[in-house]
Amino acid sequence: MARRALITGATSGIGNSFARRLAADNHDLVIVARSADRLEQVAAELRAKHRVEVDVVVADLSTSEGMDRVAERLTDTARPVDLLVNNAGASLAGWFGTTDIADEDAQLDLLVRAPMHLMDAAVKSMSGRGGGAVINVASVAAFTPRGVYSAHKAWLVNLSRWADIHYDDVNIAVQALCPGFVRTEFHQRGDMDVSGVPRWMWLKADYVAKASLDDLRKDKAVSIPSLRYKLLATLARYMPSSLVARIAKRGR
């Protein structure tokens, strides 16, 4: 496992759960988000509780400037990063074709270009010094026809699975983490109606982070936390696509 981890979107939700769990396991951290105040608050709490080093990087990963800033930190040989957690994300409330295309471009940058750029920087750095690991936070939506968001996540799953195989010979593990509905700020920030999602479909962020790290230790290229979502992902591969699309539309 890593000695220093860089986590994007680390001030809340799954990213914050990764930060707290890794700090508890005595890993130094680099935490990334857009809000300097929230980053400093999280960093101070982790330093005080776990006595680990926590660096902060303020960056908007939907911009080239933000991507470059974090990529530069990933290639710092003086303070190397051994685990990258590509977690930062958001979604739009409307379906493609009804949304502003500029907003869709920003989502593409955040959910596809940013993890690609950061993964590129991490792989190039890690391959030259004995290996490391990358966790790309995707979604179980990757296995369903669910608009642009699921398409972005399917892209990330595909790249992660290939990279895990391709870079095995230089000791780099790559995992696509595919949770279902998780109780975080994600849906609230996107102004999404999730009133139709039954209680049994919700997972806790701490559970998701733990499952991912456990699966990373087992060299699993795709991590789907909970038996219920493993079953749903399997069914999505064999059920008629029109039926899967109707089911997947719930909670939007």
The half-sphere exposure of 178 on its side-chain side, counting CA atoms within 13 A, is: 32
H/E run at residue 8: strand 4-8
Strand partners, 54: 29
Residue 179 has which token pair?
């949770």
Q: Which two tokens stand for residue 142?
A: 């990757």
Q: Which residues contact 228 (CB under 8 A, 6 or more apart)?
A: 180, 200, 201
With beta carbons less than 8 A apart as the criterion, state whether 61 and 115 touch.
no
- Are 122 and 132 contacting, i.e. CB atoms less than 8 angstroms apart? yes
Label the pairing between strands 132-137 and 202-203. unpaired
Q: Which residue has the tokens 């087992």?
A: 218
Cα(119)–Cα(244) distance, integer angstroms: 31
- Rg for the chain, CA atoms, rounded: 17
Catalytic positions are 149
Tell me, what DSSP letter sits at residue 28?
E
Give the list of residues 6+ apart from residue 227 with CB closer than 8 angstroms, or none.
Answer: none
